[in-house]
């Protein structure tokens, strides 16, 4: 596999050597680096794309996404600048959604709501963006809007799962939303489906933890929150979830060394 990756990288570099002034070669190499989680190298290639096409909004959006993937304070500021530049050039769904997601991670919830709503005005069909809006509204204690947002997210999830029943992430999110609506039996069915498909996925495990918390089973909520951390989630990932606040502050969570 390693040899194939190196061969692919070489072929992208050869394409650039043949047409060094053509932006698409650098773009393809940047996308390749992104798939390999080589974010700093992807940044360098997207910067080359921008040098060749300075009015390219997609390139700035992609650059912002790479900086965001680096997941540190300095990169977050560069990500914000890149998303804003992209939006100045062309107000797109992707850049609004990405900027909203960035603000949510920085706990700038009112700004996150604003950007996420702008994204949804351009494309209201992705349940994940509605869930981001829901999380932000929850942090802002805006329960009236959160209730409407939850209903919209739930209907989109149900439609999505009718075509993609093997999507564990969607199954686990629907379990969360149904547990909030006290639909215990349905919630349990989707929770079990998610775990059967992806038993070690950290987001699925976090969603299962939140579902059990909503269903009044603190012991299982604690177990699955812990399992989420063991599977790769950071504590900050769990702290971004208003529905897990009580779980994370539970004495037994810290007593068992789950920090």
- Ordered DSSP codes for 101-153: HHHHHTT-HHHHHHHHHHHHHH----HHHHHHHHHHHHHTT-HHHHHHHHHHH
Residue at token pair 């215990």: 184
Q: What percent of the chain has pLDDT over 90?
A: 93
**With 60 as the cut, is the pLDDT of residue 258 above it?**
no
**Answer CATH for 164-259 from 2.40.110.20, 1.25.40.10, 1.20.210.10, 3.40.50.720:** 1.25.40.10
91-151 adopts what CATH topology? 1.25.40
With bands split at pLDDT 50, 70 and 90, how would you rate the model's confidence at 256?
A: low
Does residue 2 carry a pLDDT above 90? Answer: no
The whole-chain average pLDDT of the chain stands at 95
Rg of the Cα atoms in the chain: 20
- Quick: pLDDT tens for 79-115: 999 999 999 999 999 999 999 999 999 999 999 999 9
First to last CA, the chain: 36
Contact status, residue 26 vs residue 50, Cβ threshold 8 Å: no
Among 173, 214, 177, which Cα is nearest to 193's? 173
Per the CB < 8 A criterion, the answer to whether 103 and 112 are in contact is yes
- CATH 1.25.40.10 in the chain is located at 1-86, 91-151, 164-259
Closest Cα to residue 213, out of 259, 244, 258? 244
Question: At which residue do the structure tokens 């809007």 appear?
Answer: 145
pTM (2 d.p.): 0.91
- The pLDDT assigned to 40 comes to 95
- For 189-247, how does the pLDDT look when each residue is reduced to its tens digit (9 = 90+)? 999 999 999 999 999 999 999 999 999 999 999 999 999 999 999 999 999 999 999 99
Fold of 1-86: 1.25.40
Q: How many residues does the chain have?
A: 259
Averaged pLDDT, 152-174: 98
pLDDT tens for 121-130 read: 999 999 999 9
- pLDDT value of residue 54: 98
């Amino acid at each position: 596999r390693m040899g194939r990756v190196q061969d692919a990288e070489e072929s992208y570099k050869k394409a650039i050597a043949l047409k060094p002034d053509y932006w698409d070669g650098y773009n393809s190499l940047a996308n390749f680096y992104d798939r390999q989680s080589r974010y700093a190298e992807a940044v360098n290639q997207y910067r080359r794309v921008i040098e060749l096409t300075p009015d390219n909004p997609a390139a700035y959006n992609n650059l912002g996404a790479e900086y965001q993937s680096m997941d540190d304070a300095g990169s977050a500021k560069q990500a914000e600048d890149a998303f804003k530049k992209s939006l100045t050039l062309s107000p797109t769904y992707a850049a609004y959604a990405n900027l909203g997601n960035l603000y949510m991670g920085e706990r700038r919830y009112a700004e996150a709501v604003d950007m996420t709503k702008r994204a949804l005005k351009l494309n209201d069909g992705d349940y994940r963006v509605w869930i981001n809006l829901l999380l932000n509204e929850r942090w802002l204690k805006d329960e009236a809007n959160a209730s409407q947002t939850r209903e919209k997210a739930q209907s989109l999830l149900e439609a999505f799962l009718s075509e993609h029943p093997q999507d564990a992430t969607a199954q686990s999110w629907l379990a969360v939303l149904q547990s909030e609506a006290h639909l215990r039996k349905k919630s349990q069915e989707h929770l079990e489906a998610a775990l059967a498909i992806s038993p070690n996925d950290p987001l699925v495990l976090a969603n299962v933890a939140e579902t059990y918390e909503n269903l009044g089973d603190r012991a299982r909520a604690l177990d699955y929150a812990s399992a989420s951390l063991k599977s790769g989630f950071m504590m900050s990932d769990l702290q971004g979830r208003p529905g897990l606040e009580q779980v994370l502050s539970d004495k037994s969570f810290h007593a068992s060394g789950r920090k």
